[in-house]
Amino acid sequence: MENKILVTGGTGLIGKYLQKEMPNAIYVGSSDYDLTKNEEVTKMFKKIQPKIVIHLAALVGGVHHNIEEPVKYFEENVLMNTFVLKESYRFNVKRFTGMLSSCIYPDKILDYPIKEKQLIEGAPHQDLFSYSYAKRCLAIQVDMYNKKYNTKYNYLIPCNLYGEFDKFDAIRGHFVGALINKIIIAKNSKKNFIELFGDGKPLRQFMHARDLAKVIYNMIEEEKYLNMNIASDENYTIDTIAKIALKVCDAEHLEIKYNSNKPNGQMRKDIDTSIFKKEFSNIKLIRLSDGIKEIYEKLKND
């Protein structure tokens, strides 16, 4: 690729996998620039002069941390998105791709799976309200830049992610990463159970972040500018996901205890992947059981 590529959030979960797909891109993290400050973002663009921007940077965390810090999740994400998008246009970036999340979709929906056109048909779930709206704002910003300036900017809406570069703590991590960590801790400490939030009934799609990195790479290579959902067809309850994890981690002896004092989050948010399957039929996603086993094998001896 001859065009200089800038990847924000380049040291995060997706960014580290993307480094393997696009080793010549420039990857920046929070220790390089504070993207919540316009002058820092301007400095970054002046120095790097990118022609393609993959905007992965975000303040991300679990349901519990979102409930505790709603102002932080809204303000920091809105500022990052606004400044990076604004400077992308100002510096004549030919391609901007922003990363959203399936939690931005309406909580109350009548027909599943959720299609891209249903984005603003209702409010997102209360537990992730501020983060979801900040991410939804980026979709609207991208659409408005395209409408006003005839740019070819786009955004991707992945389902829940997991991978070996995730945060693995119970508060700030994604569910699958935190689940694997709980299993490892329980086995190492000879406990006979793991504790999970809620009641195990919410439905979730999970995708390996390595697969998302492959989609991003292919999208740029093939010069496709699409706003689309990306997800696995595997849509399981939290309880089923936990049992899959116990099986592949050789931990079926562990009991699952649910803490009903903790929130479930959104009960269902499975997304339609018709566009993704049509446009990227060559990409076969990693099965959840295989992905969990792979990460468990890498982490269990750390």
Residue 285 CA to residue 116 CA, distance in Å, equals 20
Domain check: are 132 and 10 in the same one?
A: yes
Q: Which of 64-73, 108-117, 195-204 has the lowest mean pLDDT?
A: 64-73
CATH number for position 166: 3.90.25.10
Domain check: are 147 and 177 in the same one?
A: no
**9 or 264: whose pLDDT is higher?**
9
How confident is the model at residue 1, as a pLDDT?
45
Domain check: are 177 and 193 in the same one?
A: yes
CATH number for position 52: 3.40.50.720
Closest of 179, 198, 155 to residue 63, by C-alpha: 198
How confident is the model at residue 62, as a pLDDT?
73
How confident is the model at residue 81, as a pLDDT?
98
Q: Residue 253's domain spans which residues?
A: 162-203+234-269+286-299
Instruction: Evaluate whether 106 touches 122 at the Cβ level (below 8 Å).
Output: yes
| pLDDT tens sequence across 158-171 | 999 999 998 776 56
Q: Give the DSSP letter string of 16-82.
A: HHHHHH-TTSEEE-TTT--TTSHHHHHHHHHHH--SEEEE-------HHHHHH-HHHHHHHHHHHHH
Report whether the peptide linkage leading into residue 113 is cis, meaning its omega lies within 30 degrees of zero. Answer: yes
Give residue 28's pLDDT band: very low, low, confident or very high (50, 70, 90). very high
- Is this prediction's pTM over 0.85? yes
Q: Is 219 helix (H, G, I), strand (E, B) or coil?
A: helix
Give mean pLDDT, residues 179-207: 96
Q: With respect to residue 184, please indicate whether it lies within any of the assigned structural domains.
A: yes
Give residue 65's pLDDT band: very low, low, confident or very high (50, 70, 90). confident
Tell me: pLDDT of 10 over 90. Answer: yes
